[in-house]
Amino acid sequence: MRLPALRLDRHVLALLLVTLVWGLTFPILKIATLRLSGVEISALRFLIAAVCMAPFAWGVPRHTWRDGLILGCLVLVSYVGQAYGLQFISSNRSAFLTSLNVILVPLLAWVLGARPGWLVFLAALLACLGIGLMSFDGGTHLLADTTTILGAFAYAAYVLRLSGRAHAHRPHQLATAQMCWMALLGCMWMVLDGGTAALQTLPQRMDSAVFWGLLYLGVAASAGMFFLQASAQRYVSAAQAAVIYAMEPVFAALFAWLWLSELLTWRAALGAVIVVVAVVLSETQPAP
């Protein structure tokens, strides 16, 4: 009997880089929510991302725009739910609730007829356990918790859809279509949510910390990482990708500790170790 083989190729490493960059977004979002609403943050970050991806918009085929619309709607709901929740709960708690998509992805895949391996289910459960140890801090807020969990459901659906459709598109075109749709829909949502009065006060509420934070969210965390994600998930299954994304709250807790001075206890450190073990386990292939 041969031992399981560990598969950490460049596509897996690319998704780990995505989680590192996204981990920094939690403290940035926490700071931004002091000035802007969740809808405003999401709309502005995707508008910046769409400007970055605009040179690639010419020549995007119709089927890419169609899939980009579906993927963009799922991501927009996920990000707005997360940003709204961060107005009332800590970045650690938000990371924990958001990470529920780790177990939701293989469960939804199973409901839809796929059969993820038992190692992936075990890794997903371990990841949820680790994130729970890291992030659960009480502080229940019913509406904020509900919208954050809704965002987790939307993102689980996004990961499944992306893994199923990424191979049918060029990565830069699919990322461009998503960014353009999210910018358009996000701006429409922002106008309907706040009206013209909120738009008129937007420049006064935009200090330097929020401005540079939005640039990071738009350029690095959205335009750059969605392109990298669309490229790498052509070769990584949805269930495995979801477990890899469990590293995001690990990095989020680290950055929140360094930047926002949020508490990082021995329990959180143990949870982080469990998440790392889960990610490695998800990339372990059983021997035939």
How confident is the model over 186-224, as pLDDT tens digits?
A: 899 888 887 778 788 888 888 888 899 999 999 999 888
pLDDT value at 15 more than 60:
yes
Name residues whose C-beta falls within 8 Å of residue 116's C-beta, 6 or more positions apart in sequence: 106, 109, 110, 237, 239
pLDDT value at 271 more than 80:
no
Report the pLDDT averaged over residues 12-29.
Answer: 84
Render 2-45 in DSSP notation, one character per residue.
PPPEE---HHHHHHHHHHHHHHTHHHHHHHHTTTS-HHHHHHHH
Reported pTM: 0.75
pLDDT value at 116 more than 70:
no
Per DSSP, the three-state class of 170 is coil
* Euclidean distance between CA atoms 15 and 165, whole angstroms: 17
**What pLDDT score was predicted for residue 235?**
85
Segment 59-70, tens digit of pLDDT:
899 999 999 999
Residue 49: pLDDT band (50, 70, 90) is very high
* Euclidean distance between CA atoms 285 and 283, whole angstroms: 6
Name residues whose C-beta falls within 8 Å of residue 170's C-beta, 6 or more positions apart in sequence: 64
**What pLDDT score was predicted for residue 217?**
92
Count of C-beta atoms within a 10 Å radius of residue 168: 12
